[in-house]
């Protein structure tokens, strides 16, 4: 596999993840700014998750361009990282709907931690 194919596949997955996150936010029925107030927790957690994804995207780009070649360790650690990041929309949506509840916050933190660990492994094998 070429590093360009690895990067293109990962870019596509990240784009889908971001799209899923924003589609979880439902527009209010009422046409007033006051109707947006209940959406503030969802918008804040979406913004935070979007920036996590943006940081990963930039760093993944830098890693893939520095790769001399792609081997099976890189492919599988990349897939592990993509799997963990694919759980971010679930955790983001749950926290957005329950911003002060312990279990959603725990899951969000756990998913971000495991995404970071898998990305560190990717960096190690790259």
What contacts 111, CB < 8 A, 6 or more positions away?
84, 87, 88, 90, 91
pLDDT tens digit sequence for 29-61: 999 999 999 999 999 999 999 999 999 999 999
Domain assignment present for 45: yes
Domain membership of residue 33 (yes or no) is: no
Domain membership flag for residue 19:
yes
Confidence of residue 121 (pLDDT cuts 50, 70, 90): very high
**Which segments of 24-101 does DSSP mark as H helices, in order?**
40-66, 72-86, 88-97
- CA dihedral sign of residues 105, 24, 5, 53: negative
Does any domain span residue 100? yes
Interhelix angle for 102-125 vs 40-66, to 10°? 10
What is the residue range of 87's domain?
3-27+39-125
Number of domains making up the chain = 1
Q: Is residue 32 part of a domain?
A: no
Residues ≥6 apart with Cβ < 8 Å to 64: 3, 4, 6, 7, 10, 126
Residue 34 lies in a domain: no
Q: Is 20 domain-assigned?
A: yes
pTM of the model: 0.92
Instruction: Express each pLDDT in 92-116 by its tens digit.
Output: 999 999 999 999 999 999 999 999 9
Handedness of CA 95, 100, 104, 110 (dihedral sign): positive
Does residue 60 lie within any of the structural domains?
Answer: yes
């Amino acid at each position: 596999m070429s590093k360009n194919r690895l990067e293109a596949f990962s870019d596509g997955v990240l784009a889908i993840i971001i799209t899923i996150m924003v589609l979880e936010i439902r527009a209010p029925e009422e046409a007033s700014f006051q109707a947006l107030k209940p959406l503030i927790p969802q918008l804040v957690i979406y913004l935070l998750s979007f920036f996590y994804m943006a940081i990963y995207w930039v760093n993944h780009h830098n890693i893939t361009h520095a790769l001399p070649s792609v081997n099976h360790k890189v492919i599988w650690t990349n897939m592990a990282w993509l799997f963990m990041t694919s759980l971010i929309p679930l955790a983001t949506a749950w926290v957005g709907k329950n911003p002060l509840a312990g279990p959603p916050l725990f899951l969000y933190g756990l998913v971000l931690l495991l995404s970071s660990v898998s990305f560190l492994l990717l960096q190690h094998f790259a």
